[in-house]
Structure 1
Amino acid sequence: MHAQTNADLHCHSTVSDGTLAPEVLAARAKANGVELWALTDHDEVGGQQRAMDAALALGMPYLTGVEISVTFAGKVVHIVGLGFDHRHPSLVDGLRATRQGRGARAREMSDDLAKVGIRGAYEGALKYVGNPELISRTHFARFLVDAGHCSDVSEVFRRYLTEGKPGYVPHRWASLGDTVRWIREAGGVAVIAHPGRYGFTPTEEYALITEFMAHGGRGIEVVTGSHTSADIVQYTGTAQEFNLLASRGSDFHSPQESRIDVGRLPDHLSGQLKPVWTVLEDRIHWPA
């Protein structure tokens, strides 16, 4: 496999905040030409075996994956783990601890929305949740759209659920060091997800990358569903400057909500970059 491989190593199923089951998502990825796939649900590896079994049955190579929320410089940053043992105790236990704060946070979000006249948001959001441990802002957003409070998810995040707006409740996520350690101990590679999304200053971004690497992080997403062509150029340079492995993934959640379909990223990695999957050859699950 090389830089032009149609790898999609970032997407979400009903096990976290996607709208498609792992098996349905696997079939969609295969139909869209994916040559190497990873399901990366938020803070949860409960869908890994299902995704792997479905991918292999379709003749599609598979890498285990997860996307873990981290607090860094006052913002939530996402770290993708790839190619790990999804049953490894330190990873499984660490993710469980990370998830435990979501329920209380969701009830606080609902209480805050009630103050502006939106009642029953917690119960409403629960109807969209595949895994109650992973209730998130995305589930509240779907409730707000379907209940007629907003026309689409973009409007939700303009009016609610973001800092300074009704329904916003911060959550204390895992530390960067712990997250990278969980992934490494389970045999995987840690990757900074969609770096163009965070709005960091150059100094903050440098601090993130250097601390990430100091903990043993090795990769960065260059081609993603949320990166512009200018972002791709920028983070191609970043990967080269810091000698980071390059990854790509759609960050697909839903046919109705996502800008890019799984497997349909318009750009490949530059041939000047070293794809993350080249160091994970022995961790790829191949069809029989």
Structure 2
Amino acid sequence: MIDLHTHSTASDGTEPPAQVVASAVEAGLTTVALTDHDTTLGWTDASEAARRLGIALVPGIEVSCARGRRSVHLLAYLPDSTHPALVAELEQARDSRETRLDRMVDRMAADGLPVSVESVRAEVEEGATPGRPHIADALVRAGAVAHRDEAFAHLLSDRGPYYVGHYAPDPVRAVEVVRAAGGVPVVAHPLSVTRAGTVGDELLEEMVAAGMAGIEAHHRDHDPDAVRHLVDLAASLDVVVTGSSDYHGDGKQNRLGERTTTPEVLERIEALATGSEVVRP
């Protein structure tokens, strides 16, 4: 089984990169991708664990993009992690997330919520990409909410009272940068209703014209009608269809391997990649 979308403590997952790989083995996967938000921090530890535990690892990134108020997430598989344009985009995104986090926390603290910049920083692993889930974890630790999902239902929602935006590249620009870095771009959960706006067909077509190679159709945030639509759209655009768990450890209910990708699709992704390679035992 192949799962091409997971997160570790390098961004907003709850398991260290090596433990994500170990959990993938326990779940019966043969291949797993580590796709932390806007960072390659976990690649080394995950690669070492994959070789040791006998599972293939696809190094990746989930690049946070936006067009207007519409949030778009782009999975970048097998890029060159040292490519200057990619490094610059990721650094700018992470720097913006840092300041955005502080502003959100200050707003919440001013309204009497039991959270501070210090308590949120304590939830972020050194060097990891900070994000709203870390605010949620601080709120859980303070007893203000029971789980991340409760925090995101209102307090941390894109439409909530404390939301602050952050820098994110236009999705077409992101596709071009990933391609330039030798990576293979695949849009993540484009019809998810839990995020700030779904990604319409017109934008997906524009991203494909720029070099996007696939659509993550099989995802728990997509109902059957959404899956059918995305599979048909992918066929018409001649791009691959992937399935993934979007695993975050205890941070989400998503289970490793609950949605999977076929070996033939992974082979096509590998054939398109020139930036890095699948790590095999």
Same fold (TM over 0.5): yes
Structure 1 stretches of 5 or more lacking a match? 1-5
Alignment root-mean-square deviation, CA: 2.3
1:169-225 Cα deviation digits (max 9, x unpaired):
111312223311221112111010011215757xx6022212211221111101124
1:99-134 Cα deviation digits (max 9, x unpaired):
111121111101110232114432221121114562
Query: 1:229-268 alignment to 2 at 5 Å?
Result: 229-254=224-249, 256-265=250-259
Aligned to 2:268: 278
**Partners of 1:57 and 1:78 in 2: how far apart?**
31
The residue matched to 1:236 in structure 2 has which SS? helix
Bigger shift: 159-168 or 101-110? 159-168
Bigger shift: 207-216 or 161-170? 161-170
Deviation, 1:75, is 1.6
**Partners of 2:116 and 2:21 in 1: how far apart?**
31
Distance 1:199 1:174, change over 3 A: closer
Query: 1:75-224 alignment to 2 at 5 Å?
Result: 75-131=70-126, 134-197=129-192, 198=195, 200=197, 205-224=200-219
Figure out how many residues of one structure are paired with residues of the other and give that number: 276
Question: Within the alignment, does 1:287 sit opposite 2:280 as a pair?
Answer: yes
1:5-53 Cα deviation digits (max 9, x unpaired):
x211111011111111111110110121112211000000111122122
Deviation, 1:260, is 2.3
Query: 1:33-112 alignment to 2 at 5 Å?
Result: 33-112=28-107
Give the conservation status (yes or no) of the 8 Å contact 2:30–2:56.
Answer: yes
Bigger shift: 177-186 or 38-47? 177-186
Give the conservation status (yes or no) of the 8 Å contact 1:17–1:138.
Answer: yes
**Partners of 2:127 and 2:139 in 1: how far apart?**
18
Give the conservation status (yes or no) of the 8 Å contact 1:225–1:250.
Answer: yes
Give the conservation status (yes or no) of the 8 Å contact 2:70–2:196.
Answer: no
Give the TM-score of the pair, scaled to structure 1: 0.87
Percent identical residues: 30
**Partners of 1:279 and 1:114 in 2: how far apart?**
45
- The one-letter amino acid paired with 2:153 is R
Distance 1:287 1:119, change over 3 A: closer
Structure 2 stretches of 5 or more lacking a match? none
1:32 to 27, 32, 46: 27
- The one-letter amino acid paired with 1:287 is R
